[in-house]
Structure 1
Amino acid sequence: MSFRQIASAHHRENSRFHSGLPEGWNRDRFRQLCVCYAQIRGASAQCIRTFEIIIDMISPCAFRDPSQEPFCYARQETLIAGRGVTDRTIHNHERELEKIGLIERRLGANGARCKRKRLGLFLTPALNLFPEMLDVDVQYRSEKKEHDALRGDRSRLYRYVKHSLAVLHSLPCPSEEVEGMMVEFRSWPRSDKLKYLSLDELRAHVQAAHNLWKRTEGHVAKRGEISGGPEAGIGSHIQDQIEEEILSCNADGEATMPAAEASEPICSGSGPHSPAHCLESNHPAGTEPRKAQKLPRVNNRVLYELASTELRMHIDIAGGGEQNSCPSLYAIETGVWSRLSEIGTNVSAWLTAIDRLTIMGAILAGVITDARLSDPKLPPVVNPGGYLRGMVKADERGELNLISSFIGLLARRAREEEDGQRQDHKNRI
C-alpha cells in the first residue's frame, strides 16, 4: 500500500478527544511531521506556511494535555502576516488543511473566531491522525531513498552503456543489433526527468537499462569482435592500465575514453540535456582537464580480492547475486558505493571523491576506506565519510598517494592469507 493510499485509507468523523503527543514529542517536532504529511498530500508551499503560522499560535502544552484541545482563534488578517495574500487565499488554505485532515474549522457566523466561545481552527484531527502520519512519513522516506538509489544506478548504467556502444560502433561493420541497441539507448529519458517518474516507472526503466547493459557487455566480450581483446578469464572492463586509459566520468561530466572511442559516434544529439554538474552531462568543450591522480595498475580481479567480505557481498549483489571473482567495473563501482553508504558515508562525499579522483580513484579510495575499518594495526575509523573526504583533501594538497595505500593493502591481504593458511595447517595437525 502506497503512502497516498495509507493517507486516504480511512475517512472518519473528527473526534473532539485526543491522547496527546507521545513521550519525546513536542509541538515543534509534531509541526515538522504535519508539514511533511501536508507536502506528501500535495499542499502548496503557501498553504503549508499558513499551517505553520496557525500551529505556532497555539500553546505547546495543549498538544500534550488530553484535557485540552489545541486551537487557534486568530483572525484571518493575523494569519496573512504581511505575506501579500488575500482573505480568500487564507480561506482556501483553511479548507485545504481541513480536507487533508490536519484541522477542523469550528467557526461562528461569518467565520467568527473567539477564545472565550472556543471558536477557531482546531488541530485535534491532526493529533488523532498521528499514527497514520508516522506510517506515511516512514514509507515516504523509504521510497525516496530507493528512488535516489535507482537514479544513481541509472547514472552509472548510462556511462557504461555509452562506453560499450561507442566500442561496438567503432567496429568496421556494426551489426543491426548494435544499431537497435543504440536506438534504445537514445530513447532513455533525460536524467533531469527521472525525478518525475514514479517509483514503479523508475524501477522498470532501470531494469530495462540494466538489461541493455548486459547485452552490450555480451557483445563487447565476444572473442575476436574487438582487436586486442581482453585477456583470458578477465572481464571486458579490465583496468590493467594507469588512469589515463580508464573510462572516467566525474560530477562535472568530464568523460575520458580510450582512443578507439574518441569520436563517440553515438553521442551526437543523444546525450541528456541535464544540469552542468550532472553525472551524465557531457563536459563543456574547451575546458582543460585537471591533472589526474596517478593510480596503480589494477584489474577487476585484484580489486575483488582486496575487498572485504562485506564489500564483496555488495559487489556480488550488484553483479547479479552470484559470486564472481572477476566482476564488471559497474558491479564494483555500485558495490563500493553501497558499502560506503552502509557504513555511514554521505552521497556528497562519494560524488566529491569521483569529481576529484575520477571513478577509478574513487573506487580505490572506497576500497581502502572500507579496509581501514577492520585494520587491527591502526586506530579505528570513527567516521568513514570523513576519512574519504580526508583523502580528497589530501589530493587537493598534493599529498595523496593511492599507489602507496594500494601496496599497503596488498601486503595486508597477503599477511592475512598467510595467517589463514598457517591456522588451517594447525587445525589439520
Structure 2
Amino acid sequence: MSFRQISSARNHQKMRFHDGLPEGWNRDRFRQLCVSYAQIRGASAQCIRSFEIIIDMISPSAFRDPSQEPFCYARQETLIAGRGVTDRTIHNHERELEAIGLIERRLGANGARCKRKGLGLFLTPALNLISEMLDAEAQYIAEKDKHDGLRGDRSRLYRYVKHSLAVLVALPCPAEDVDEMMVEFRSWPRADKLKYLSLDDLRAHVQAAHDLWKRIEGHVAKGGEISGEPEACFGCHIQDQIEEEILSCNADGDETMSSAEAEEPDCSGSGPDGPAHCLESNHPTDMVPHKSQKLPRVNNCILYDLASPELRMHIDIAGGGVQNSSPTLYAIETGTWSRLSEIGANVSAWHAAIERLTILGAILAGVITDARLSDPRVPPVVNPGGYLRGMVKADERGELNLISSFMGLLARRAREDEDGLR
C-alpha cells in the first residue's frame, strides 16, 4: 500500500468518529439544524422528508455517544412508507444527502443494509459538520434580513417614483427624458419576482431605483410647480410650517393641489399582480389621511427635530449617510421603520399602521412610539410593536388623538432643549 493510500485510509477512518451533540442538544435540535442546512443547500422538500424519516429511525442515544455511529439500516421500501415515491427516487435522495455532507452510504452488494454487519446510512458526517452548519444558518438569516429590508426599500421607492412620474408628466414643460424614465420604471421586476433575485442583484436594483427617483425629483423641483423641496411633491400632508391653530390634513378631499391632481402615468404592466392590499399595487398608497383620524400639519424638518437621536441616525442612513435637518419623506419613512424594527416592532404592525393611518399617520405613530421609550414621566414601553398596534386599534374605535400626542411630544422636546438634554 502506498503512502497516499495509507493517508487516505487514515483520514477516512478518522471521519468515522464524532464528539457527539453539543451540550444541551438533543436529536430533534440536531434534526432541525440539518433540515435548515439542507434547505440552504437547495435540497427538495421530498429529499428533506426522506432525511427526516432516516433520522427518526435512529436511536437518540446514538447521537450522544461518541463510541458508536448513528446509522439507519432500514430498507428503501421502509423509507418510502406509502409516500408515493419510487425506489429510484429514494436512491436519488440518498445520493443528494451524501453530496451535501449529511450522510455517508456504506452499503453492501446491490445496496444491502444490515444492522449486524454495520451497513446502512450513517449520519457521522453531519455530526462532524455542526459548526459549519451553524455558520451557514447564521449567514443565511443575516442575508435574508438584508434581502427583506431591500425589498421593503423597493416597495417604498415604487410608490414615490410612480407618484413623482405623475407629477412630472403634468408639468407644463415635462423633461425631455421623461419617456426614458418611464420606460426604465416599467422595466422594474414585479414585487413577487424580487424574492428570487440574489442579494447583490437586489441591492443593485434598489440603488438604480433610488437613482431614478432622485433624477425625477430633480426635474420636478425645476418645474416651478412646487416650492423646490423634494418632499413637497408627495401631496399636502407634509406642509411647510405648523400653523398657529393645529389643523388636520384634508380629510374630506375638498382641498386640492395642482401636483396631486396630476393624472397618473400609464404604467400598465409595470406593477405586480399581487393582492389589492400589496404595498406595490397598481394604485399608489392613498396620501389622504383616513377620515376617522385627524393629523397635524408638519413639515419634514419638524419631524426630524422631534425624532430621538437614534431615530435621526436611521433617517440619516436612509438619506445617504449624511446628516440632514430636512430629509426627504422617503428617508423619514425608511428610517422610522428601521428604528421600529430595531426596538422590536414587527413588520406586520408597521403595515397595519400604514393601511389604517396612512403614511404620515404611521410615521407620527412611529415617532411617538420611539419617544415613549425614553420618556422619564411615564413607564417605558415594554412592547413597542404592541404599542403601535394599540394605536391602530384605538383609531378603529375612534379613540386615537395623534394631534394631542404630537403636541405633547412637541412640548417635551421644547423642555428638553431648554434643559440642554438634547
Shared fold, TM over 0.5: yes
> Residues 277-310 of structure 1: CA distance to partner in whole angstroms, max 9, x if unpaired?
32111259xxxx9635211111111100100000
> Residues 382-422 of structure 1: CA distance to partner in whole angstroms, max 9, x if unpaired?
111111111111112211111111111111111111212xx
What SS is found at the alignment partner of 2:375? Answer: coil
Distance 1:232 1:49, change over 3 A: closer
Distance 1:124 1:233, change over 3 A: closer
1:264 alignment counterpart: 263
- Output the CA distance in 2 between the equivalents of 1:114 and 1:417: 79
1:67 alignment counterpart: 67
Superposed displacement of residue 32, structure 1: 1.2
- For 2:273, give the aligned amino acid: S
- Check conservation: 1:274, 1:280, Cα contact below 8 A: no
Greater alpha carbon shift after TM alignment, 398-407 vs 20-29: 20-29
Superposed displacement of residue 259, structure 1: 5.7
Pairing of 1:263-282 with structure 2 (within 5 A):
264-276=263-275, 277-282=277-282
What SS is found at the alignment partner of 1:321? Answer: coil
Superposed displacement of residue 268, structure 1: 3.7
Distance 1:330 1:342, change over 3 A: same
Q: Of 220, 224, 232, which residue of structure 2 is paired with 1:226?
A: 224
- Output the CA distance in 2 between the equivalents of 1:13 and 1:290: 69
What SS is found at the alignment partner of 1:176? Answer: coil
Superposed displacement of residue 323, structure 1: 1.1
2:8 alignment counterpart: none
- Output the CA distance in 2 between the equivalents of 1:394 and 1:50: 49
1:415 alignment counterpart: 415
2:215 alignment counterpart: 215
Pairing of 1:1-400 with structure 2 (within 5 A):
15-222=15-222, 225-227=223-225, 229-230=226-227, 237=234, 239-240=238-239, 242-244=248-250, 260-262=259-261, 264-276=263-275, 277-283=277-283, 291-400=291-400
- Check conservation: 1:31, 1:52, Cα contact below 8 A: yes
> Residues 118-168 of structure 1: CA distance to partner in whole angstroms, max 9, x if unpaired?
211110011111121111111111111111111110111111111111111
> Residues 18-61 of structure 1: CA distance to partner in whole angstroms, max 9, x if unpaired?
11121132211111111111111111100100101111111222
Superposed displacement of residue 92, structure 1: 1.3
> Residues 245-301 of structure 1: CA distance to partner in whole angstroms, max 9, x if unpaired?
899xxxxxxxxx9564445342341531331132111259xxxx9635211111111
Instruction: Give the count of matched residue pairs.
Output: 395
TM-score by length of 2: 0.88
- Output the CA distance in 1 between the equivalents of 2:176 and 2:35: 53
- For 2:68, give the aligned amino acid: Q
- Output the CA distance in 2 between the equivalents of 1:167 and 1:13: 69
- Output the CA distance in 1 between the equivalents of 2:215 and 2:202: 20
Superposed displacement of residue 232, structure 1: 7.9
TM-score by length of 1: 0.86
Superposed displacement of residue 175, structure 1: 2.1
What SS is found at the alignment partner of 1:105? Answer: strand
Superposed displacement of residue 243, structure 1: 4.2
What SS is found at the alignment partner of 1:274? Answer: coil
- Check conservation: 1:242, 1:295, Cα contact below 8 A: yes
Superposed displacement of residue 326, structure 1: 0.9
- Output the CA distance in 2 between the equivalents of 1:158 and 1:147: 16
- Output the CA distance in 2 between the equivalents of 1:261 and 1:210: 21
> Residues 57-106 of structure 1: CA distance to partner in whole angstroms, max 9, x if unpaired?
11222112211211111122221122111222111111111111110111
The gaps in structure 2 that reach 5 residues or longer are 1-10, 240-246
The gaps in structure 1 that reach 5 residues or longer are 1-11, 248-256, 425-429
- Check conservation: 1:161, 1:216, Cα contact below 8 A: yes
Superposed displacement of residue 173, structure 1: 2.5
Distance 1:200 1:363, change over 3 A: same
Moved over 4 A (4+): 231-238, 241-247
Superposed displacement of residue 108, structure 1: 2.0
Identity fraction in percent: 77
RMSD, aligned CA: 2.5
- Output the CA distance in 1 between the equivalents of 2:362 and 2:74: 56
Greater alpha carbon shift after TM alignment, 306-315 vs 90-99: 90-99
